[in-house]
Amino acid sequence: MTEWTIRDIPSQAGRFAIVTGANSGIGYESALALAAVGADVVLAARSPAKGEAAVARIKALTPGAKVAFRRLDLADLGSVRSFAAAIADEHPALDLLVNNAGVMTPQVRQLTRDGFELQFGTNYLGHFALTAHLLPLLRRGDRPRVVHVSSLAARRGRIAFDDLQRTRRYRPFLVYGQSKLANLMFALELQRRSDAGGWGLMSNAAHPGASATALLANVPTRDARTPLSLRFARWFTPFISQSSADGALPTLFAATAPDACGGGYYGPDGFYELKGKVAPAKIVAAARDPTAAARLWDVSQELTRLQFG
């Protein structure tokens, strides 16, 4: 694939987009780039102060940008429902949803407001619920896309169907891996369901390799349960990672490139996909298993008490 850069993002004028976790890191860079090419972007974030500050930064960098903050706490299904209802009141259709927000490796097991393990509940179930709520709007969108931000950690993930909330054994990084594998399985399953049901979506996924964001800076480096590669990541960050702007490129490719496709997965092309040019990323066998993905979908509908379609 020839190098795809921020200058290759096609005009998004007239398109309405939502980016979750858009106040910092990959989400902020994605929202900034989308606004710069004309999209009307809602920055969904849990903190009004951080969300409004990000809106102000984008407006300062891109005069005339159509950006607005709306509050969304993915660790609270009530907040997800209220957010989607407010969006539906204001917008007849949605053209792009970027499911980006995430938390990584809290050292102690924590819960969402609804009692789910925090990483699974926020990174995956929150976005599952958000997508279900917004599906009617997406179906009225113009060539609607849903992009799911996964991670290299998905390679280490396992969906523990017998203990999804990890009540028995909490290993922070493996639990993060479960949530990011679930994001990837959801991306592929959503495309299959859309194709079968005629929903008209393009659903794909992206990962930013290793990108210098708050997420990496917050890794508990002294915790023996954190994989060695991540414990030393901070020291090696300048060598193994890329900027958050470069880390956003796979997301932006999935969200806008004419060459991106449904069921695709994009990431950097360098060593172990840590950094580099945008390219198709490796999809591990566990993520390609349609039976497991259908089972995860059913369990997620039960947990969130939501039905798609």
Ligand X SMILES: NC(=O)c1ccc[n+]([C@@H]2O[C@H](COP(=O)([O-])OP(=O)(O)OC[C@H]3O[C@@H](n4cnc5c(N)ncnc54)[C@H](OP(=O)(O)O)[C@@H]3O)[C@@H](O)[C@H]2O)c1
Is residue 50 part of the contact set for ligand X (CB under 6 A)? yes
Catalytic residue, candidates 28, 124, 176, 266: 176
Is residue 214 part of the contact set for ligand X (CB under 6 A)? yes
Using CB under 6 A, pick the residue from 9, 17, 18, 24 that binds ligand X: 24
CA 206, 211, 214, 219 dihedral sign is: positive
* Measured CA angle at 293 (ends 289, 298), to 5 deg: 155
Instruction: Select 38 or 188, whichever has its Cβ closest to ligand X.
Output: 188
Is residue 30 part of the contact set for ligand X (CB under 6 A)? no
Clarify whether 170 is annotated catalytic. Answer: no
Using CB under 6 A, pick the residue from 178, 191, 194, 211 that binds ligand X: 211
CA atoms of 267 and 249, how far apart (whole Å): 8
Using CB under 6 A, pick the residue from 12, 16, 25, 155 that binds ligand X: 25
Question: Could you tell me if 132 and 142 are in contact, meaning their C-beta atoms sit under 8 angstroms apart?
Answer: no
Using CB under 6 A, pick the residue from 31, 35, 42, 75 that binds ligand X: 75
Smallest gap, in angstroms, from Cβ of residue 218 to ligand X? Answer: 7
**Residue 146: helix, strand or coil by DSSP?**
strand
Taking CB positions, which residue lies at the least distance from ligand X? 25
CA atoms of 137 and 164, how far apart (whole Å): 30
Is residue 242 part of the contact set for ligand X (CB under 6 A)? no
Cα–Cα nearest to 98, from 39, 10, 38, 174: 39
Using CB under 6 A, pick the residue from 18, 207, 278, 287 that binds ligand X: 207
Question: Could you tell me if 236 and 15 are in contact, meaning their C-beta atoms sit under 8 angstroms apart?
Answer: no
Query: What element of type H or E holds 145?
Result: strand 145-149
First to last CA, the chain: 35
Is residue 129 part of the contact set for ligand X (CB under 6 A)? no
Is residue 103 part of the contact set for ligand X (CB under 6 A)? yes
| Residues within the interface to ligand X (CB under 6 A) | 20-21, 23-27, 45-47, 50, 72-75, 100-104, 122-123, 149, 151, 207-208, 210-211, 213-216, 247
So which residues are the catalytic ones? 176
